[in-house]
A and B are shown apart, each in its own frame.
Chain A
Amino acid sequence: MKIIVPVKRVASLDDEFEMREDGRDVEPDFCEFDLNEFDEYSIEAAVQIKEANPDAGVEVIALTIGPEDADEVLRKALAKGADRAIRIWQDALEGSDQIAIARIIAKVVEREQPSLVLCGAQSSDHAHAETGMAVAGLVHWPHAAVITHLDYRPGAQSALVERELEGGLVERLELETPAVVTIQLGINKPRYASLRSIKQANAKPLDVLTAEELGLSEAEIGVPGSLSRVRRMFPPDRRRSEMIEGTPAQQAARLLEIIKETLH
């Protein structure tokens, strides 16, 4: 029984950054990259199912879409307990939106036939909250989003899940499986990879495929496979805070004044 965990290499911007010449993204030189925080939790959720069912032969497969740099997030997933990894890339995938990415994940899901697909509820860079549920739509599987509890036994026909809603309200529900769910922060405590497991991760299989090899046509990938297009990206011209300068002592003194002024 397989669990697929799609993961994303997300970008965070440096203190200062410049836009790309075409104005549609930030120059990658001004970005730092890491594994999406939400995906730490989906990896952990998958590995916990594997560990709780040692006789079920659970295989956790980490999957990402991106050029070679993206291997680092797959290695991280492998170090945290995934068994093998798949990376999909070809140049025509440049310019893909979340839906075009989901089309690739969906093809891998069709090929591997997992019992569960566990995605992060959103990515920490752009927070679209689209990819996971789009995969469910593409493969026509049952799905539930923003899960803070997952109770699934390999081989079962359904899973018990809890969705966390606005205001902290929780809905408990039973979901048919195989299913796609998206995982909310806080569902578990993601483990740190030990030095030993980081070493072992390098020996685990990491397959690289193209979208074409998965059977996707040109019309389904990259820009043609997307449902949106970035016209323009720009730092907003928004009101900035009045900055309180000085030493920490001076800043604290001014803050105490503000407290007095505001509350009296």
Chain B
Amino acid sequence: MSGILVLAEHRRGEARPGSLEAIGAAEALKADLGPLAILIIAAEPQKYVEPFAVGAVDEIITVANPAAKEFEPHVYEAVLSRVIEERKPSLILLPHSIDSWGLAPGLAIALDAGFATDVFGIRREAGEIVATRAGYQEKVWVELDFPQKQQVILTLRSGAFRAPTELASPKITALEVEGVKPRSSHLEWRDPPPSGGIDIPGSKFILSIGRGIGDEANIEQFAELAESLGATLGCSRPIADNGWLPKARQVGQSGQLAAKCSLYIAMGISGAVQHQWGMKHVETIVAVNKDPEASIFGIAAYGIVGDMLEIADELRKQVAAAHAEAG
């Protein structure tokens, strides 16, 4: 067993960034583990060769299959298993993406490989791979190893590794994998509903509310508070799931990325990793949370342990007083 294999993810004709980050993660391990190959499974895999010919990539393996125009977990698993059996890489890296949630566990079972998900640190210790991930809602870190496993599959946390930008000239190998059958069929894509002018990605200042708000009746006062502060109102997933605010206001992996935000005030948001993803470009985060151990305090520049409703109340009073004075 030697070498590293990275799965190239793509969707609707575009290469996915998570696989590029996996290439970045593989770079530091190559000296120990051997060459880095990228596997592209697609109806027309050559379309994706160029975007993945970057960084430390030594080889791009393409497998053409008409059923893999878009991700299909059963086709992917069968092709990956076959390619891995043939190439025998010691490490297989996938992004911790929604697609690989549906793919990686079955692959680990099929290969009887060591397996860990949502990994943000990889190192070698005495010849063994050690992976680091978080546990208990990000409150602890967990180091995992894989006793007696010849191969290890890791899915990597988005944003944890740097995607390379320099171009590479890898060898291209086309493999054929026969007899692979899909068990689901793609019917359609549905884009998220129009944002109705709500611009989380473009906002410099976001006031975001989470589960700590408790009740739908409290939403309105935060909408007013955001407006009086000149902030865009954002929210975490449970608020959008409840239908209390439109999906266009949801910050996080299944919502919006706050791409241009200088200041993000997170009120009553504990800081689940999917939400943190949406804040990864924010310059300054202020967190207001009742739980002094909430993981959001691990990424916020400033923290207030307290009741978001009380703090909001004070903010409103003081903003009104300042206006009265200025007026």
CA distance A164 to B250 in the complex (A): 14
| CB within 8 Å for A134 and B254 given contacts A142-B74, A186-B241, A241-B300 | no
Q: Per DSSP, are chain A's interface residues mostly helix, strand or loop, or mixed?
A: mixed
CA distance A15 to B191 in the complex (A): 40
Are A240 and B297 in contact, with the CB atoms below 8 A? yes
Per-residue A-contact encoding for B294-319, CB less than 8 Å = 1, 0 else: 00011011111111001101110111
Chain B: CB-nearest residue to A161: B184
Chain A: CB-nearest residue to B205: A263
| CB within 8 Å for A127 and B102 given contacts A168-B247, A185-B241, A251-B311 | no
Distance in Å from the Cβ of B87 to the closest Cβ of chain A?
20
Chain B: CB-nearest residue to A133: B105
Q: Chain A residues with Cβ under 8 A from B307's Cβ?
A: 248
Whether, in the assembled complex, B192 has its beta carbon less than 8 Å from a beta carbon of chain A, the answer is yes
CB contacts under 8 Å to A, within B76-127, are: 77, 96-99, 101-110, 112-118
| CB within 8 Å for A26 and B105 given contacts A185-B241, A240-B298 | no
Q: Per DSSP, are chain B's interface residues mostly helix, strand or loop, or mixed?
A: mixed
Whether, in the assembled complex, B325 has its beta carbon less than 8 Å from a beta carbon of chain A, the answer is no
Whether, in the assembled complex, B46 has its beta carbon less than 8 Å from a beta carbon of chain A, the answer is no
| CB within 8 Å for A231 and B143 given contacts A168-B255, A169-B189, A171-B189 | yes
Distance in Å from the Cβ of B225 to the closest Cβ of chain A?
11
Determine, out of A63-71, A73-81, A174-182, the stretch whose residues face the partner at the interface: A174-182
CA distance A241 to B237 in the complex (A): 23
Are A236 and B140 in contact, with the CB atoms below 8 A? yes
Summed over the interface, the residue pairs from A and B with CB atoms below 8 Å come to a total of 260
| CB within 8 Å for A255 and B183 given contacts A12-B137, A128-B118, A244-B302 | no
Q: Which of B96, B103, B106, B140 contacts A233 (CB 8 A)?
A: B140
Determine, out of B60-68, B161-169, B285-293, the stretch whose residues face the partner at the interface: B285-293
Are A167 and B74 in contact, with the CB atoms below 8 A? no
Q: Chain B residues with Cβ under 8 A from A242's Cβ?
A: 301-303
Chain A: CB-nearest residue to B262: A262
Q: Chain B residues with Cβ under 8 A from A5's Cβ?
A: none
Q: Which of B117, B263, B298 contacts A129 (CB 8 A)?
A: B117
Are A173 and B185 in contact, with the CB atoms below 8 A? yes
Whether, in the assembled complex, B273 has its beta carbon less than 8 Å from a beta carbon of chain A, the answer is yes
CA distance A176 to B73 in the complex (A): 13
CA distance A251 to B106 in the complex (A): 50
Q: Which of A102, A170, A171, A243 contacts B105 (CB 8 A)?
A: A102
Are A134 and B302 in contact, with the CB atoms below 8 A? no
Whether, in the assembled complex, A195 has its beta carbon less than 8 Å from a beta carbon of chain B, the answer is no
Chain A: CB-nearest residue to B190: A170
| CB within 8 Å for A127 and B273 given contacts A13-B136, A174-B187, A236-B140 | yes
Which of A98, A146, A176, A255 counts the most chain B CB atoms within 10 A? A255
CA distance A145 to B118 in the complex (A): 16
Q: Chain A residues with Cβ under 8 A from B97's Cβ?
A: 166
Q: Which of B105, B147, B256 contacts A134 (CB 8 A)?
A: B105
User: What is the number of residues of chain A that contact chain B, defined by CB distance less than 8 Å?
Assistant: 78
Whether, in the assembled complex, B253 has its beta carbon less than 8 Å from a beta carbon of chain A, the answer is yes
Q: Chain A residues with Cβ under 8 A from B136's Cβ?
A: 11-13, 26, 125-126
Chain A: CB-nearest residue to B310: A248
Distance in Å from the Cβ of B262 to the closest Cβ of chain A?
6
Distance in Å from the Cβ of B213 to the closest Cβ of chain A?
16
Whether, in the assembled complex, A52 has its beta carbon less than 8 Å from a beta carbon of chain B, the answer is no
Q: Chain A residues with Cβ under 8 A from B190's Cβ?
A: 162, 169-172
Whether, in the assembled complex, B186 has its beta carbon less than 8 Å from a beta carbon of chain A, the answer is yes
Q: Chain A residues with Cβ under 8 A from B317's Cβ?
A: 252
Are A137 and B298 in contact, with the CB atoms below 8 A? no
Distance in Å from the Cβ of B91 to the closest Cβ of chain A?
14
Are B143 and A146 in contact, with the CB atoms below 8 A? no
| CB within 8 Å for A176 and B183 given contacts A137-B106, A142-B74 | yes
| CB within 8 Å for A253 and B110 given contacts A12-B137, A146-B98, A186-B237 | no
Chain A: CB-nearest residue to B274: A127
| CB within 8 Å for A171 and B186 given contacts A240-B297, A251-B304, A251-B314 | yes
Whether, in the assembled complex, B204 has its beta carbon less than 8 Å from a beta carbon of chain A, the answer is yes
Q: Chain B residues with Cβ under 8 A from A138's Cβ?
A: 109
Determine, out of A86-94, A199-207, A208-216, A222-230, the stretch whose residues face the partner at the interface: A222-230
Are B114 and A227 in contact, with the CB atoms below 8 A? yes
Are A259 and B237 in contact, with the CB atoms below 8 A? no
Per-residue A-contact encoding for B119-149, CB less than 8 Å = 1, 0 else: 0000000000011001111011111111101
CA distance A133 to B105 in the complex (A): 6
Are A228 and B101 in contact, with the CB atoms below 8 A? no
Are A145 and B297 in contact, with the CB atoms below 8 A? no
Are A15 and B106 in contact, with the CB atoms below 8 A? no
Distance in Å from the Cβ of A12 to the closest Cβ of chain B?
7
Q: Chain A residues with Cβ under 8 A from B191's Cβ?
A: 169-170
- Listed in ascending order, the chain A residues whose CB lies under 8 Å from chain B are 11-13, 15-17, 26, 98-99, 102, 121-122, 124-134, 136-138, 142-146, 160, 162-176, 182, 185-186, 227-236, 238-244, 248-249, 251-253, 255-256, 258-259, 262-263
Could you give 6 example pairs across A and B, Cβ below 8 Å? A136-B106, A171-B188, A186-B241, A233-B140, A236-B134, A262-B284
